[in-house]
């Protein structure tokens, strides 16, 4: 990963370290013997991070000076901080954090002489073709979520532009992430494990998913083996919702719901649930964007071929996720 220097070039800054993905990335790097600095917002609880050997620095990616301060002893950056769909953020906030924050990270990386940066993007910026397979060379999509998708597309565009001249950057594009620590994309798993999933939504809808630890490993491998300016989809497996629920039932011993709901009915139920969320405070396990635009199959094989990423077997990943939901440890 490049020569060391008096700047402690072996240190890796991870943004979004208090998030489900950022935390898993930072912990994996520490287990691999890397020195990690985690950027977290002021007032965040950092005790668990420090206990496992992660150095923490308070700051915010929307504040350029604090990002530069966090990078002062680092040679590498993994940029995982972002606001995700279902957060209730405004369109302006999505752009301020996801796009504006990424531009700050890029500017700080250039001025700090960072040797390589890995940018965590999303498959939402790839082609949107329900029922077909998409890879890194597919054309860009029509937007499905203006705030999130637009902001992540703007962020990735800035990253790829920087890779042409100013900075060595590699991009990873995870599919829907699940696993320990994921309190958002894992809601359907949590509902099933706790016996609160009364029906199987969209049973024949295909979905591309990826285990959070595979994304963390993908980031490490992208840092080590990725090609400057290249994108790597992180996705495996691609299965139907019905198959996913069957696998979940097998590893947990719980019976799958007997009722399955088609797309039009799920759309009505989920739309109504999101409409009254300000009153009920309940977040449905599915977003309306997922109902309307899901079903694209994302090909994560390039990461296996070129980075050396071997994806975790689904049963093993779901068992670990279910165990964390019932007995959270981090």
Q: What is the DSSP string of 171-232?
A: EEEE-EEESTT-SSTTHHHHHHHTT---EEESTT-EEEEEEHHHHHHHHHHHHHHPPTT-EE
The residues spanned by each domain of the chain are: 12-180+208-236+295-311
pTM: 0.90
| End-to-end CA separation in angstroms for the chain | 29
CA atoms of 247 and 282, how far apart (whole Å):
26
Query: What pLDDT score does 142 carry?
Result: 66
Q: How far apart are CA 73 and CA 248, in angstroms?
A: 44
Q: Give the whole-angstrom CA distance, residue 189 versus residue 214.
A: 18
Q: Which two tokens stand for residue 278?
A: 């300000």
Q: Can you tell me the distance from the alpha carbon of 284 to that of 292, in angstroms, rounded to the nearest whole number?
A: 15
How do the pLDDT tens digits run along the chain, 330 residues long? 543 444 456 899 999 999 999 999 999 999 999 999 999 999 898 999 999 999 999 999 999 999 999 999 999 999 999 998 877 789 999 999 999 999 999 999 999 999 999 999 999 898 777 788 999 998 876 656 678 889 999 999 999 999 999 999 999 999 999 999 876 667 789 889 988 888 888 888 899 999 999 999 999 999 999 999 999 999 999 999 999 999 999 999 999 999 887 765 666 776 777 677 777 666 666 666 666 667 889 999 999 999 999 999 999 999 999 999 988 876
pLDDT for residue 292: 63
CB neighbours of residue 64 within 10 Å: 18
CA distance 169 to 78: 10
Q: For 252-319, what is the HEC assignment?
A: HCCCCCCEEECHHHHHHHHHHHHHCHHHHCCCCCCCHHHHHHCCCEECCHHHHHHHCCCCCCHHHHHH
Is the domain spanning 12-180+208-236+295-311 CATH 3.10.310.30? The answer is: no
Q: CB atoms < 10 A from the CB of 65, how many?
A: 11
Q: Coil, strand or helix: which one is 102? A: helix
Kindly report the length of the chain.
Answer: 330
**Which structure tokens are listed for 46?**
């950092």
């Amino acid at each position: 990963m490049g020569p060391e220097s008096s700047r402690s070039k072996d240190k890796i800054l991870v943004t979004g370290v208090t998030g489900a993905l950022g935390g898993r990335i930072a912990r994996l790097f520490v287990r691999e013997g890397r020195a990690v600095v985690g950027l977290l917002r002021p007032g965040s609880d950092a005790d668990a991070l420090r206990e496992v050997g992660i150095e923490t620095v308070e700051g915010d990616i929307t504040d350029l000076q604090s990002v530069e301060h966090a990078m002062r002893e680092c040679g590498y950056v993994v940029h995982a901080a972002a606001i995700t769909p279902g957060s209730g953020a405004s369109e302006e906030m999505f752009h301020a954090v996801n796009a504006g924050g990424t531009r700050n990270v890029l500017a700080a990386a250039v001025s700090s002489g960072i040797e390589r940066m890995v940018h965590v993007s999303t498959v939402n910026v790839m082609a949107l073709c329900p029922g077909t397979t998409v890879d890194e060379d597919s054309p860009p999509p029509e937007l499905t979520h203006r705030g999130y998708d637009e902001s992540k597309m703007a962020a990735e565009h800035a990253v790829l532009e920087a890779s042409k001249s100013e900075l060595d950057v590699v991009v990873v594009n995870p599919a829907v992430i699940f696993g320990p620590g994921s309190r958002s994309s894992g809601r359907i798993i949590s509902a099933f494990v706790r016996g609160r999933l009364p029906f199987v939504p969209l049973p024949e809808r295909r979905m591309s998913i990826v285990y959070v630890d595979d994304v963390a490993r993908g980031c490490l491998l992208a840092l080590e083996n990725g090609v400057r300016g290249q994108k790597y989809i992180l996705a495996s497996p691609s299965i139907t919702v019905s198959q996913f629920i069957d696998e979940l039932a097998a590893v947990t011993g719980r019976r799958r719901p007997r009722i399955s709901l088609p797309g039009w009915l799920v759309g009505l139920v989920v739309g109504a649930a999101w409409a009254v969320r300000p009153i009920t405070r309940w977040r449905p396990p599915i977003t309306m964007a997922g109902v309307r635009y899901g079903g694209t199959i994302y090909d994560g094989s390039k990461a296996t071929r070129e980075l050396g990423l071997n994806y975790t077997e689904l049963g093993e990943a779901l068992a670990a996720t279910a165990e964390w939901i019932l007995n959270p440890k981090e």
